A and B are shown apart, each in its own frame.
Chain A
């Protein structure tokens, strides 16, 4: 009651009307957030400390520890999965992101054929992960065009990779997924980066040209510094997936096989799917999630702070 009295005393009738309107607008999204984010995450933490009968236990965390040291109930070693997640993340964010920054810039500067190129680059995203992945999967089968191409580069013709396909051989399966990730990552974030580049005022380029600035000076000293806040936002989002990066491994391997391509992201999705199938318990995936969140949180916070610091120091 005191809060209402304070609001009545400190704010005019019009301001109070605005409050009411604003609260009405946020009511549903906030309620949804409280139920499907706050409550879900709180119960996820609670599940991590419960057995199947709801009693307190550390066993789920023991199972996570065992999965990192040895293997989990499904035969997956999480340490290997984590390394694979990192490799996919590094390829996508550390190698491909800078390249996509440059390629998007050149496309935004309307290089000949830019409209057609842009449509071609977005086609895999439009076709969707499932169709694209399943097409690639068919293309890397034994008689598929990619496998035939790789055979010309010296792939052992009697290996599983050559006869069954690149994804059906432990030696080549993960490398195949990494390669697809690399090719796809080259034009990643195209939409958001293009949106940012198109907002850079033309006057900046015109005055730079008058001062004799060339192509690279314009790109590295004007365009990229101008869109630095956008780059920071994208990199912060990218940091969030540092431990869970999963490039459609579930679709590539169908969640079967000997898990030589397993990643943490795959494992988390697979555990949820197994629950739907009536297999496994809620506690183990919840404990795995809590463990990874605790590890990821400081990484993201430090990374975000560093990016913000860099953003302050960037001058246009």
Chain B
């Protein structure tokens, strides 16, 4: 979009820009301060934190970040006989949940969107109407029924089957993929077909390379949301606590640790860094590919 030209603008507009700039600085402070506060308190002792959480540390205890790997722990005797889950156990759970969730969800949504956006087949319009209906009509309170079914199908605490629940193709990702597929010219696939390519070849060699930016953008946004999701572990995988769930229940195990609050803040900082770096590196990709609803005119 066209850049604002501050210098060439009339005085009135310059004042408006200045007001916006001031407002953005205040917002930025409000959003960044909790992170800064967490960092400075992660470098104190528990006593120092309790005495004054606003001051800078008297001694910068960087060893708190090392302690995270042995002191950030939550209890849980499970079927695998584990008594305590340490940071790396929870990190591993976060990672496999993220990879499986993102893979099945993105694949499922993309396949569905491709079929509906690019093919004519009986029942297509009905299916599209059902997807729009399912996305825009709120069905409230199905959590207990879903949990009951998960229990009946032995999906609770079962990594082998729980992914089935996440493979939802009828969700917001479908809408993003559908818009993207619609925007790709049909002439590419038509020419490939004239040259003798079958549907699989067209999909893998012609379409897939063109939608990689969209796949990456959707995958990253899904990854951010799953990385921070505590309810999956809380309800469906309690014996596979991820980092988000671990953060939530860590308060129950403060008594096991010497400096629980600084350790807690250090864990919050460490856990946030991968996602912040991932987003910073892919910001433009996400912002230019995550769109829905199209443009008017």
Contact = CB atoms under 8 A, between A and B. Distances in A.
B53 to A, nearest CB: 6
B66 interface: no
A195 B290 contact: yes
Interface in B199-241: 199-200, 221, 224, 227-231, 234-235, 238
B287 interface: yes
Interface string A115-149: 11111111111111111101110110001110010
Interface in B27-49: 27-28, 30-35, 37-38
B279 interface: yes
A298 to B, nearest CB: 11
A123 B276 contact: yes
A63 to B, nearest CB: 13
A231 interface: yes
A131 B228 contact: yes
Contacts of A83: none
A206 B144 contact: no
A25 B120 CA distance: 13
A134 B247 contact: yes
Contact-residue bracket for chain A: 35 or more
A131 B2 contact: no
Given A113-B21, A292-B141, A300-B138, A196 B272 contact: no
B123 to A, nearest CB: 9
Contacts of A115: 283
A192 B271 contact: no
Chain B interface size range? 35 or more
B296 A110 contact: no
A47 B22 CA distance: 54
Contacts of A306: none
Given A22-B121, A23-B121, A199-B291, A289 B142 contact: yes
Contacts of A292: 140-141
Contacts of B175: 233
Contacts of B147: 272, 275-276
Given A128-B228, A229-B296, A110 B4 contact: yes
B296 A130 contact: no
A121 B24 CA distance: 9
Contacts of B296: 225-229, 311, 314, 316
Contact of A135 (B13, B37, B119, B228): B37
Contacts of B1: 108-110, 197-198, 200, 202, 205, 223
Contacts of A124: 31, 34
A304 B115 contact: no
B257 interface: no
A296 B231 CA distance: 24
A219 to B, nearest CB: 10
12 contacts: A32-B167, A33-B169, A130-B228, A131-B271, A138-B261, A139-B34, A225-B297, A231-B293, A234-B293, A269-B143, A282-B145, A289-B140
Given A25-B114, A230-B294, 6 more contacts: A22-B119, A106-B20, A112-B21, A122-B279, A148-B54, A202-B1
Interface of A: 7, 15, 17-19, 21-23, 25-26, 28-30, 32-33, 35-37, 39-41, 43-44, 47, 103, 106-113, 115-132, 134-136, 138-139, 143-145, 148, 183, 186-187, 191-192, 194-200, 202, 204-206, 214-215, 223, 225-234, 236-237, 240-241, 243-244, 251, 268-269, 271-273, 275-276, 282, 285-286, 288-290, 292-293, 296-297, 300-301, 304, 311, 314, 316
